[in-house]
Amino acid sequence: MAIYQYRCEQCGAFDVSRPIGTAAAAEVCAGCGGAAARVFGSPHLARTSRPLARALQAQEASADEPRVVRRAPSRESAAPPADPRHALLPRP
Ligand SMILES: [Zn+2]
């Protein structure tokens, strides 16, 4: 079964469920009994959230152009750890 969209000029849009390939060009509106023309909308595609898209782009970029680190970061430039237990971890 597929869901087809129709639009009545007086009542607005509504959906009709029919077997695939059997949608008529027009349906009878359940509200007013008038003819409702079939409309074609966009399929229900999932949109990727912005944080996920950024993470996927970063992952893809790191596969092609990995950042090269030539020396260990200095202790002064490092941000203080958010968790105080991180200060107990061994340092290079
Ligand atoms: Zn109608």
CA distances (Å), origin 43, targets 18, 28, 38, 40, 50: 16, 23, 15, 9, 20
Angle at 47 (CA atoms; ends 62, 5), nearest 5 degrees: 155
Question: Which pLDDT score is estimated for 77?
Answer: 65
Among 18-22, 35-39, 87-91, name the one with the lowest average pLDDT: 87-91
How confident is the model over 62-83, as pLDDT tens digits?
Answer: 887 777 888 887 777 667 778 8
Question: Which pLDDT score is estimated for 64?
Answer: 78
Give the model's confidence band at 22: pLDDT under 50 very low, under 70 low, under 90 confident, else very high.
very high
CB 36 within 8 A of CB 28: yes
Please list all protein residues whose beta carbon sits less than 5 angstroms from ligand 1, which is an ion.
8, 10-11, 29, 31-32, 34
CA of 18 to the centre of ligand 1 (A): 19
* 11 vs 77, higher pLDDT: 11
* 69 vs 3, higher pLDDT: 3
* 39 vs 42, higher pLDDT: 39
Q: Which two tokens stand for residue 15?
A: 């959906």
